[in-house]
Amino acid sequence: MDIFEKTKGEHNYTIAKEKGIYPYFHELTSGQDTEVMMEGIDTIMIGSNNYLGFTSEPRVIQAGIEALKKYGTGNSGSRFLNGSLDLHRQLETELAKFLHKEAVMTFSTGFQSNLGIISAIAGMHDVIMCDRENHASIYDACRLSYGEMVRYKHSDMQDLEEKLKKVPDNKGILIVTDGVFSMSGEICKLPEICALARKYGARVMVDDAHGFGVLGKYGRGTAEHFGLEDQVDIIMGTFSKSLASLGGYMASTKEVVEYVKHTSRPYIFSASITPASTATALESLRMLEENPQRVRDLQDISNYMRNGLKKLGVKLIDAPTPIIPIYVYEDEKAFMACKLLLERGVYVNPVVSPATPVGMALLRTSYTATHTKEQMDRAMKKIKEVLDILDVH
């Protein structure tokens, strides 16, 4: 049998293209901001993870330019060998201090961060407890590791405890959860998870890709939000969202960081973060430290949009984060809604099966601290208009 046989015939993406409702790979001809130019349409962007609005900040852009001038375009090697810059170390030192952790190591992407951390930490005599709605990178990391992956029902602490009870005493346990779940915007039940970890001798890892810069008084994320920074053993995060760059990190004890640095294949065998990406992440971090009001601005504009949609009768997943998913139920209606909204100058993301259960398709909307209420009013009006056209209630 030809291995390429699977590429032929009908797929959901080919059907969507034939119907003219294909929602992916739209091209931007402007920078990422609250309003963008997308395929010739002036568009309100409510599908980005640019939570703090740093992608268009002159200070952040200038930091990237200066790094390009000083270090060139790339590092031509891994951190393990010739690809370490003083700039990398500077970012790691300042980020560790900000997160109240002993040490930080950086990876070239967020996806790679989870692959590199979990595959290094979990060995053949270990068990990884994984929330069913964790990010795809966590699932792939579990597969890459030699550990046994055990999934527990989403945010179901009773199910997690039942599964913890079954782990033999001679096995190590790592409980891994998203801090903020990327599709629903829900916050994990971190206090209960930490309590169970103490009870059963497990360690806790939080993927805070969508929590950093979003939760906590100072934007340190889910652990700060709950006052549990000393009880989370590993914090993973990304630079591609609140820090307006590209890359990822792990924050933990010096001992754990040193171990992962010397055993993680995705880390050792990948080129390091480019100078410009490192510099922009560092400058964004400094801006966040100087102005934690950005975090509150993000919360305020998200609440404004959430409350406005509710008043219009829009059915959504209600969680206290800048991710607001709107139910449209059918996959095809999600694709059509994205098309109609883009034509009206609003960009949102479709979330369809298998990312959601069949019949529970969503429009994933997300917000930026620098969005204005006027932009939100326009976006709300268009969303309600399109949902009415599609008879979604």
**pLDDT of 192 strictly over 90:** yes
Give me the pLDDT at residue 355, please: 82
Query: Looking at the 3D structure of the chain, how many domains does it have?
Result: 2
Choose, from 163, 210, 339, 382, the residue flagged as catalytic.
210
Same domain, 245 and 367: no
Average pLDDT of the segment spanning 2-30: 93
Give me the pLDDT at residue 232, please: 98
Give me the pLDDT at residue 393, please: 86
Same domain, 139 and 251: yes
Of 234, 265, 290, which residue is a domain's last? 290
Of 247, 273, 290, which residue is a domain's last? 290
- Percent of the chain at pLDDT > 90 equals 96
pLDDT tens digits along 282-306: 999 999 999 999 999 999 999 999 9
Choose, from 101, 163, 241, 382, the residue flagged as catalytic.
241
384 part of the active site: no
Same domain, 113 and 227: yes
- Please give the mean pLDDT across all residues of the chain: 97
**pLDDT of 187 strictly over 90:** yes
pLDDT tens digits along 66-111: 999 999 999 999 999 999 999 999 999 999 999 999 999 999 999 9
Same domain, 237 and 361: no
Same domain, 263 and 302: no
Average pLDDT of the segment spanning 246-250: 98
Same domain, 112 and 153: yes
Give me the pLDDT at residue 211, please: 98
Give me the pLDDT at residue 190, please: 98
Give me the pLDDT at residue 138, please: 97
Is position 3 within any domain? no
> What torsion do the CA atoms of 320, 321, 326, 327 make, to the nearest 10 degrees?
-60
Same domain, 267 and 257: yes
262 part of the active site: no
CATH number, domain of 184, equals: 3.40.640.10
pLDDT tens digits along 326-351: 999 999 999 999 999 999 999 999 99
**pLDDT of 223 strictly over 90:** yes
Choose, from 119, 182, 242, 366, the residue flagged as catalytic.
182
241 part of the active site: yes
Is position 120 within any domain? yes
Is position 197 within any domain? yes
**pLDDT of 9 strictly over 90:** no
Same domain, 82 and 166: yes
Of 233, 268, 290, which residue is a domain's last? 290
Same domain, 228 and 320: no
Range of the domain at 309: 11-45+292-389
Same domain, 286 and 299: no
CATH number, domain of 383, equals: 3.90.1150.10
